[in-house]
Structure 1
Amino acid sequence: MRNALFVAIEGADAKGVARAEASLQRQGFAEASSFNFNGDRLRTWTFPGQDQVAPIEVRTPTCFGVCVGPLWYRGVFGNAALKILLEECEAGGRPEEALLRGNFALFLYTTNQCLLLNDPMGFVRLHASADGCFFSTSWLAACAYLSRVEIDAGSAIEYVLLGAAHSRHSVARGVDLLPVGQAWDLKQRRMWARFPDGVVSDQPAFASLDEAVHAISSHLRVISTEVVSAFPNAVNAALSGGFDSRLIVAGLLAAGIQPRLFVYGDPDSADVAIAKIVAAATGLSLDAIDKRVLDRGRPECTTESLEQSALFFDGLPSDGIGDPGADRQTRLQQTADGSIALNGGGGEIYRNFFHLPDRDFSPLDIVRTFYRGFSTGVFREPDGLDKYEERLAASIRDIATHAGGDGKRLTRRQVELLYPFFRCHFWMGLNNSVGVRHGYYATPLVDLEAVSMALRVPLRWKNAGILQSRLITALHPLIAAQDSAYGFPFNVGPGWMARLAEWMTCARPVSLRPLINATRRKLRNVEVAPALLQRYRTILPGEWQMDPLLDLARLPDATALGRALAVEVVWRRLLQGGGQV
């Protein structure tokens, strides 16, 4: 299969392109195919172990298309889907967004058009250079193209504190993301708006919970059937004690396939215990993976091992690069032999993700509700917190305008859309982009049609998991009858205590939530272990890139420190001498 691509158009810096090629080779990719068009050039790359998997790539005398990641269109998968897309574009049309499914980056060349785009939710990232001449699925390759790479301070702070930069500007100044709802028209040398009338249509709310359950579960059956048809006996699905992974497994079982299940955690963890119960009840195989056991005996981190981790994860993964190797090992196992790994990310479109009541909010309210999980003393600059909040609020306003309005006050509809198009687009999209670098990976619970339907569900049915419990039960009653991490089987649904807890959470004033979060952190005594920080500083002595911006000793946890470590390793080891990766 194709695991990475880049496009260099006329005017691109030849030395920069050569650096990008060297970067992809250093990341472990091998060149797979190339396509020259109108003086421009596309190159695709494959990862070891995936070079024997048939690519999604179609050539005709007048058309060429290639895809990184799994692609479904009009109910069919892979080359059949790509062929339909090329035929429609050759006839002068554009892809019908609601029928595009999967997590992918896509290049389409026809007689009249040349489009570079990703899935409608933007879950596989496309990066562009500041000169507008180089585009790549690899952030490191895009950095390598530049002659000089400087840190974007605001994006770096967001990455370290939140797990991803939450705007179109990446941590490297001069490398930007393809924005939500946009595609590049490489023939016209311009951006193309994919959703001129808004990302989802304005449809009335479901008349009843039963109607919502029937419509959404029917859609999930279609999704599951498409996955099963494309990957018969080659589906690996994560399972924990929560809603989302159970919903995926319920859909697969309803579609007539028995997926191979895996769960992460130690033998005494609640997730492992519940996953074993579910697997036993359904007769499914389960691989319980304790990553700590996998990492036993592995040597302590060195600059060389950290560098290899950064190369594997395209530089800046959401969990940082402190992983000794178990994360890399398990990712490769789940997509080996052309299998697809499914993850429940995005399933919270069916719940009240931000735990806010049914009313309007400002963008700053959203920031203070959900994006303040750290000590305010972490910022080095006196106005650091204000800059951080305003930057996030500006990004939220920009995303919210896709659903109408000016973004200054967010309707409940816009708040609901922030979860898939803001939270998932930036945070989950980073992990999905890493996933397709090494095999087929997808988060099937969230697509454009699913988001549209979830938007029609009144909030009172999403609270406490009422809707999602009903969906799991509608798809597979047996799997719904097993225990969950929420204290109730999904076929029973949340009782009065769970509903009361949800109501109390939603009732907390936004102005008090940062204080509540700070109190929780103090009670839990969650902080960066001084010994861990000292060990990392011993490996990489001297001032770090993030030191002028953040007090690393006051980061919220070891994962945030691992992200600061990732920035340091990338800038010291991979971006030495400007953009050379």
Structure 2
Amino acid sequence: MLNALSVFLAGGDPEGEARAERSFGRQGFFRARRIEWAGGSVVAWGCPGQRQVEDCLVQTSSGTACCVGPLWFRGHFGRRALVALLDEVHAEGSLEEGALRGNFALFLDTGEHTWLLNDAFGFVRIHTSADRRFFSTSWLAACAYLQRVEVDAAAAIEYVLLGASHSCHSVARGVDLLPLGHAQDLRRRRTWQRFPDGFGLHDAGFVSLDAAVGAITEQLHTVSNEVAAAFPGRVNAALSGGFDSRLIVAGLLAAGMQPRLFVYGDADSSDVVIARAVAVAADLELEAIDKGVVDHDLPVPDLESLEQSVLFFDGLPNDGIDDPGADRRTRLQQTAGGCIALNGGGGEIFRNFFHLPDCAFSARDIVRAFYRGFSRGVFREPEGLANYEARLAASIRNIVGMSPAGNERLSRAQVELLYPLFRCHYWMGVNNSVAVRHGYYATPLVDLASVRLALRVPLRWKNAGALESRLVAALHPAIAAEPSAYGFRFDVGPGWRARLAEWTACARPVRLRPLINATRRHLRKARVAPALLQRYRALLPGEWRMDQLLDLTQLVDDRALGRALAVEVVWRRIL
């Protein structure tokens, strides 16, 4: 498979391209193929041990196509998908979005059209340089192309506090993301909107819960059958005590697959206990992995190890870079031997993710409800919190097609769309982009078709997991009958206690939620470990780049501190 792409347009900086290529080498990639075309060149990059590129790069009489990450087109996968896609675009001059599925970045050249695009929700990120002459799936390579980059203060604050920057601007000023739902027309040097009618509702709402379950399970059957056909006997699936991983396993079992299962946690954790019960009920293999035990036997990361972590994770991962090795090791294990690793991320499209009632909200309400899990005092500037909230609110409004500066409220359907378009696009996109750098990886529950189906479901059927329980039970009754982390079996569905808990969560006034969160942090004494901060400061003495923006002692957990460490290591040791 291919693990990264870079596109260089004529008129760009040749020295910048050379720096980007050196960055790829430093990240551990090798050049699998370089293809010249009328307006520039595209380079496909692979990892040692994954040198077979035939399924990811094709050249036919219709043109050239290459992709990073798993891509399905009209039910075909790999080479067959790319050949069919080239033929159709060459003949029709257009792309039917509903026929594409997977987590991918795609270069497509038919002579008349030369496009660079990714999956509908941008889960494999494409980074662009300030001069719009260099594009890459690697953020570090895009930074290297520019040679000197400064920290974008607002984006860096969002990364440290939230795990990702929630706009098209990255933490490196001048390196941006290809906007959600757009393709780059490399021949005409412009972007175009792939979804002129938007991502939202195109059909009427379901008239019954049975109808919703039937339509969604049919979609999940299609997705599971495609995975089964593309990776026979080579599927690894994460399993926990929750809804989403169980739904993926149920779909695979319904498709006749026997996936290998893995769960993270110690032997007594609820996730491991429940996963074992599910595996026994389905007669499946299960590997329980305690990352804490793995990391305990590995050296505490020094600067060289942290630098290697940066290179592995392409700079700025969700959880920071203080990984002794368990995270990297398990990622590689799950995709070894040409296997695909499946994760339930995004399955919350079938639930009430933000725990908000069925009414309209302002963008600022969404920020306060979900993106305020820290103290006001963490900001160095007096207006830091106000600026942070205003920026996030503007990004929320922009992502659903509203004026960033307006003040009209979002409909409840738009709030539902925020989960895939905002939360998943920015936060999940970081992790998915890292994953496909090292093997086949997908989050199959959230794609264009499933999101549109979920939007047709009334919110009352999603509350407390009622809909998703029914989906698991419809696909595989046996594993639905096993316990869950929510206190009820999925074949039974949520009882009055679960429904009361959902109602209580939704009833919390939005304006009070930051105060509620602050009270919880105070009771839990949530803060970074002083010894950890001391170790980081000893490794990188002097003022950090984030010190002028945030008071790191007031961060709420060690992962946030690990992200601040990532920023510092990237700028001191890599860029």
TM-score range, shorter chain: over 0.9
Structure 2 counterpart of 1:72: 72
What SS does structure 2 have at the residue aligned with 1:229?
A: helix
Structure 2 counterpart of 1:578: none
Structure 1 counterpart of 2:327: 327
Structure 1 counterpart of 2:381: 381
What is the Cα deviation at residue 298 of structure 1?
1.4
Which deviates the most, 34-43 or 210-219? 34-43
* C-alpha distance in 2 between matches for 1:386 and 1:143: 29
What is the Cα deviation at residue 92 of structure 1?
3.6
* C-alpha distance in 2 between matches for 1:55 and 1:171: 34
Structure 2 counterpart of 1:308: 308
What is the number of equivalent residue pairs in this alignment? 575
Structure 1 counterpart of 2:372: 372
* C-alpha distance in 1 between matches for 2:185 and 2:402: 20
Structure 2 counterpart of 1:289: 289
Structure 1 counterpart of 2:487: 487
Q: Deviations over 1:287-321 (max 9, x none)?
A: 00001111123112111000000000000000100
Q: Which amino acid aligns with 1:539?
A: L
Structure 2 counterpart of 1:58: 58
* C-alpha distance in 2 between matches for 1:228 and 1:347: 19
What is the Cα deviation at residue 197 of structure 1?
1.4
What is the Cα deviation at residue 79 of structure 1?
1.2
Identity between Structure 1 and Structure 2 (%): 68
Q: Which amino acid aligns with 1:420?
A: P
Q: Does 1:40 align with 2:37?
A: no
* C-alpha distance in 1 between matches for 2:404 and 2:229: 37
What is the Cα deviation at residue 285 of structure 1?
0.2
Structure 2 counterpart of 1:552: 552
1:19-38 mapped onto 2 (5 Å cutoff): 19-38=19-38
Q: Does 1:165 align with 2:165?
A: yes
What is the Cα deviation at residue 75 of structure 1?
1.1
* C-alpha distance in 1 between matches for 2:187 and 2:242: 46
* C-alpha distance in 1 between matches for 2:74 and 2:300: 49
Structure 1 counterpart of 2:430: 430
1:273-284 mapped onto 2 (5 Å cutoff): 273-284=273-284
Q: Which amino acid aligns with 2:259?
A: P
> Which structure 1 residue ranges, 5 or more long, are not aligned?
576-581
Which deviates the most, 397-406 or 94-103? 397-406
Structure 1 counterpart of 2:258: 258
- Change in 2 beyond 3 A, CA 1:84/1:405: farther
What is the Cα deviation at residue 17 of structure 1?
0.3
- Change in 2 beyond 3 A, CA 1:406/1:202: farther
What is the Cα deviation at residue 201 of structure 1?
4.0
Assess if the C-alpha contact under 8 Å between 1:398 and 1:407 holds in 2: no
Q: Which amino acid aligns with 1:314?
A: D
What SS does structure 1 have at the residue aligned with 2:294?
A: helix
What is the Cα deviation at residue 403 of structure 1?
12
Which deviates the most, 326-335 or 37-46? 37-46
Assess if the C-alpha contact under 8 Å between 1:199 and 1:403 holds in 2: no
Assess if the C-alpha contact under 8 Å between 1:198 and 1:403 holds in 2: no
Structure 2 counterpart of 1:520: 520
Structure 1 counterpart of 2:470: 470
What SS does structure 1 have at the residue aligned with 2:545?
A: coil
Q: Deviations over 1:534-571 (max 9, x none)?
A: 01100111111100000001001000000000000000
Q: Deviations over 1:343-388 (max 9, x none)?
A: 0000000000000000100000000000000111100000000010
Q: Which amino acid aligns with 2:115?
A: L
Assess if the C-alpha contact under 8 Å between 2:344 and 2:444 holds in 1: yes
* C-alpha distance in 1 between matches for 2:431 and 2:88: 31
What SS does structure 2 have at the residue aligned with 1:490?
A: coil
- Change in 2 beyond 3 A, CA 1:296/1:404: closer
* C-alpha distance in 1 between matches for 2:405 and 2:123: 25
> Which structure 2 residue ranges, 5 or more long, are not aligned?
none
Which deviates the most, 218-227 or 195-204? 195-204
Which deviates the most, 27-36 or 59-68? 59-68
Q: Which amino acid aligns with 2:260?
A: R
* C-alpha distance in 1 between matches for 2:229 and 2:92: 30
Which deviates the most, 424-433 or 74-83? 74-83
What SS does structure 2 have at the residue aligned with 1:106?
A: strand
Assess if the C-alpha contact under 8 Å between 1:124 and 1:433 holds in 2: yes
Structure 1 counterpart of 2:455: 455
Which deviates the most, 452-461 or 181-190? 181-190
* C-alpha distance in 2 between matches for 1:61 and 1:483: 54
* C-alpha distance in 2 between matches for 1:267 and 1:52: 38
What is the Cα deviation at residue 400 of structure 1?
1.3
What SS does structure 2 have at the residue aligned with 1:91?
A: helix
What is the Cα deviation at residue 49 of structure 1?
2.5
What SS does structure 1 have at the residue aligned with 2:237?
A: strand
Structure 2 counterpart of 1:537: 537
Assess if the C-alpha contact under 8 Å between 1:6 and 1:137 holds in 2: yes
Structure 2 counterpart of 1:579: none
* C-alpha distance in 2 between matches for 1:508 and 1:110: 54
What SS does structure 2 have at the residue aligned with 1:140?
A: helix
* C-alpha distance in 2 between matches for 1:408 and 1:542: 46
* C-alpha distance in 2 between matches for 1:96 and 1:61: 21
* C-alpha distance in 2 between matches for 1:300 and 1:217: 46
- Change in 2 beyond 3 A, CA 1:95/1:224: same
What is the Cα deviation at residue 148 of structure 1?
1.3
Assess if the C-alpha contact under 8 Å between 2:54 and 2:79 holds in 1: no
* C-alpha distance in 2 between matches for 1:532 and 1:408: 44
Q: Deviations over 1:388-427 (max 9, x none)?
A: 0001001001011179996731001100000000000000
Structure 1 counterpart of 2:6: 6
What SS does structure 2 have at the residue aligned with 1:565?
A: helix
Q: Deviations over 1:183-218 (max 9, x none)?
A: 100111111110111123432110000000000011
What SS does structure 2 have at the residue aligned with 1:429?
A: helix
1:10-409 mapped onto 2 (5 Å cutoff): 10-52=10-52, 54-401=54-401, 408-409=408-409
What SS does structure 1 have at the residue aligned with 2:390?
A: helix
Assess if the C-alpha contact under 8 Å between 2:529 and 2:558 holds in 1: yes
* C-alpha distance in 2 between matches for 1:402 and 1:341: 36
* C-alpha distance in 2 between matches for 1:240 and 1:201: 31
Assess if the C-alpha contact under 8 Å between 2:62 and 2:86 holds in 1: no
- Change in 2 beyond 3 A, CA 1:156/1:405: closer
- Change in 2 beyond 3 A, CA 1:564/1:417: same
Which deviates the most, 14-23 or 192-201? 192-201
Structure 2 counterpart of 1:507: 507
CA RMSD for the aligned pairs? 1.3
* C-alpha distance in 2 between matches for 1:539 and 1:122: 35
What is the Cα deviation at residue 88 of structure 1?
1.5
* C-alpha distance in 1 between matches for 2:53 and 2:262: 23
Structure 2 counterpart of 1:573: 573
What is the Cα deviation at residue 181 of structure 1?
1.2
* C-alpha distance in 2 between matches for 1:390 and 1:105: 31
Assess if the C-alpha contact under 8 Å between 1:50 and 1:336 holds in 2: no
* C-alpha distance in 1 between matches for 2:90 and 2:98: 20
Q: Which amino acid aligns with 1:187?
A: R
What is the Cα deviation at residue 233 of structure 1?
0.2
* C-alpha distance in 2 between matches for 1:303 and 1:353: 38
Assess if the C-alpha contact under 8 Å between 1:470 and 1:490 holds in 2: yes
* C-alpha distance in 1 between matches for 2:531 and 2:55: 46
What SS does structure 1 have at the residue aligned with 2:273?
A: helix
What SS does structure 2 have at the residue aligned with 1:547?
A: helix
Assess if the C-alpha contact under 8 Å between 2:39 and 2:187 holds in 1: no
What is the Cα deviation at residue 57 of structure 1?
1.2
Structure 2 counterpart of 1:421: 421
- Change in 2 beyond 3 A, CA 1:497/1:447: same
* C-alpha distance in 1 between matches for 2:45 and 2:181: 26
Q: Deviations over 1:483-513 (max 9, x none)?
A: 0000011001100010011011101110100
* C-alpha distance in 2 between matches for 1:405 and 1:447: 29
What is the Cα deviation at residue 439 of structure 1?
0.4
* C-alpha distance in 1 between matches for 2:503 and 2:201: 29
Query: Normalising by structure 1, what TM-score?
Result: 0.97
Q: Which amino acid aligns with 1:352?
A: N
